[in-house]
Chains A and B, each alone.
Chain A
Amino acid sequence: MMRIARGGLPRHVLRVLLGLALLLSPARAQEDSKSQPFEATDPYTRGQRAGLDAAGYVSLGPFPWCEGFTTDEIAREIAVPILWVETEHFRIGSTLPSYKIASDRIEKKRLAEELAALERIFPTAKFPTAKLDPWLRLHLYARRIEKMHTEFSTAFSVSDADFDESGTNGPAIAPGPHLGMPLKFTVLLAERRSTLARLVRYVARRDSTDPMRERLVGGSLFFGISAEAVDSWGHESDSALHAQVAANVAMNLLVGFRGMSSPVPIWFEYGWSHVASRRVDERYTLYARGTLRDGADAWKWEGRVAGLVSNDFAPSWKDLASETKFEGLSGPDHLVAWSKAKWMLEVLGPRGMRTYLLAITDPLPRKDELDSVAYRRDRELSALAEIGGASIESLDLAWRAWAAKEPTKR
């Protein structure tokens, strides 16, 4: 079994997040903490097929969640009101209550754009101006999470057709229809830790109140998080929660690619997740252990990476590819992993990223004496050199030159 299937979030990540509660800037908004029943019928789609089709939904439930468990059964066990939506690639549950839109400029701007897009989908629905109701939050997250899938597919030039086993599009990359996984990806957005804990206990027989990623029975990659946990790290805003969802869904799409055929390089897993998280909001890259700093501009990472480069403290590709555990990634490693992932996406382009992804997820040869770590490191570096058309050392130089100029582009 792979890393993700074993442990959810590494303990060190949680330590970082606990630390943020003590050290980071305060929250920007408050959620309505009163218990409230959810409207039985979605006021936006009105539960009608036309509304669901307009939004690109398969269903608002009930539906099977993973092998052996339906949404009805889960709802009964967690014993709190929950909303469901099945999109093209995900099954999502939400117990998030209403959210009072904060005065934060960045968040307001992003929400305004997102709501404008939703208004085009649901032209006859009434949209609140100051508050997001539970159904609206579900629709927002459904779109956000589906967008992650689109971004992944675009970045790595892959599509559902690559996993079509009918033979129409040539041989499938992997047997599972969902990027190689047998079942759709699943996401739980819980208001409270206990809801997440009960769902995880019920469907995965695991004990965790912390955000976690897990392979569920039948082959669905699951991510669950509670707003209560993010609050306890000092962040009540929707932006902070959204950024954590983006980071983890991005990781699940990457790790699940090709049916979890091989462990993904840890530096790239986190580098890619930081890219995804920072596309949402650069202020909440909460999984980057050791990057926390005082100062209003600490979240502007370009300058910090440039500093590491100028002092020759930036880890090389060989250094990063040699690391296999999250605990082994230092603050500079996280900063550089993000920067190098960003460089790869920009410079190598979708075709190059597809080749890279196929190389790092190629199933490992079954040899008892195989040094899996060395094998995976060497094949990754070879693939990078081949795609970049230069030695790995030359690619390091190219990245350094690029990273040194990045702060001026902001």
Chain B
Amino acid sequence: MKPAKSRGTVPTAAPRSVASRELLDLRWNYPVHAIEKATGSEHGTGVEARREALPREKAIEVLAGNDPRPLLVLRECTVCNKTDDALLSSNGSNERTLVLARFFRCVKLPVDVVDPNHPFNALFPTNEAEHLFVALRDGSAKKPLESDTSRTELWSAMEATLAATYGIDAYKVTRLVLAGLDRVDECERKFTQLETRKGQLMETPNVDVAKVKSVDVDLETAKKDVAEARAAVTRLFQVEVKVPAAGAAR
């Protein structure tokens, strides 16, 4: 059999464990504006709700929701439609990007956002608009980015936004997170090996039950280690915003 061609797998420097991949998971939001104006609509009767572009301030407000984090907004396009190409690199490690992204509210808008009637068109008015931007949650301090933006520029823009929002040294936090993930990987691998070993023993006819019990004891310890390692990384992601985000978008 040939190696897997995993379109959905984000390239990272080294294979990470399940737990680490979950912690690094890029969690996109996919806003649908019709919901916000659905009250009193005639959905289901065959009459389409009117679709119109929101003013930029309102569009930003809808994207930000109640989330205090800064914004990372990406538009899909017909060229890089299949992937997160505008944000992630296909030929290098994305771990630093993924860690930084966890501190943002990541929003992905559809291809037709460039349609003048699309509710979020004000953010990407034409096909000439950038593919991605980061900004404070009120839309200020916007930094337009492209898929061919260098990693250094991308990280610099993300880290500057994080510094303004959280007052953190994002580079330092990233290093701590990656070290924490290494520990998670180590614990998770040990746990998985033990769990598999236990299963194999249980399914082997006429096994010595004492062997299973022995693995069970080790398994309990390994389980606690995994939980502690995961919790340590989770704590690093739990940073409060420096000041309450203010007012209208600019």
Contact = CB atoms under 8 A, between A and B. Distances in A.
B29 A207 contact: yes
A28 B48 CA distance: 42
Given A68-B43, A308-B203, A310-B206, A198 B4 contact: no
Contacts of A228: 7-8
A293 B51 contact: no
B10 to A, nearest CB: 9
A292 B43 CA distance: 45
B43 A33 contact: no
A70 B78 contact: no
Given A78-B110, A207-B29, A70 B22 contact: no
Interface in B114-167: none
A351 B26 CA distance: 48
Contacts of B192: 19
A62 B45 CA distance: 12
Interface stretch (A231-239, A251-259, A395-403): A231-239
Contacts of B2: 26-27
B203 A232 contact: no
Interface in B186-212: 192, 195-196, 199-200, 202-207, 209, 212
Contacts of B49: 73
B32 A192 contact: no
Contacts of B108: 194
Contacts of B28: 194, 197, 209
A290 B2 CA distance: 25
Nearest to B202: A313
B7 A68 contact: no
B44 A232 contact: no
A370 interface: no
A77 B34 contact: yes
B246 interface: no
B217 interface: no
Nearest to A310: B205
B5 A236 contact: yes
A38 interface: no
Contacts of A27: 2, 4-6
B82 A311 contact: no
Contact of A197 (B17, B30, B35, B48): B30
Contacts of B43: 68-70, 73
Contacts of B44: 64, 67-70
Given A194-B76, A232-B7, A307 B202 contact: yes
A207 B30 CA distance: 8
Given A22-B15, A207-B29, A232 B205 contact: no
B32 A15 contact: no
Contacts of A30: 5
B196 A26 contact: no
B76 A22 contact: no
A261 B7 CA distance: 40
B18 A22 contact: yes
B205 A306 contact: yes
A201 B8 contact: no
Contacts of A79: 110-112
10 contacts: A72-B48, A201-B35, A202-B32, A231-B7, A236-B5, A293-B199, A294-B196, A310-B205, A331-B195, A332-B202
Interface of B: 1-9, 15, 17-19, 21-22, 28-32, 34-35, 43-44, 46, 48-49, 51, 76, 78, 81-82, 108, 110-112, 192, 195-196, 199-200, 202-207, 209, 212
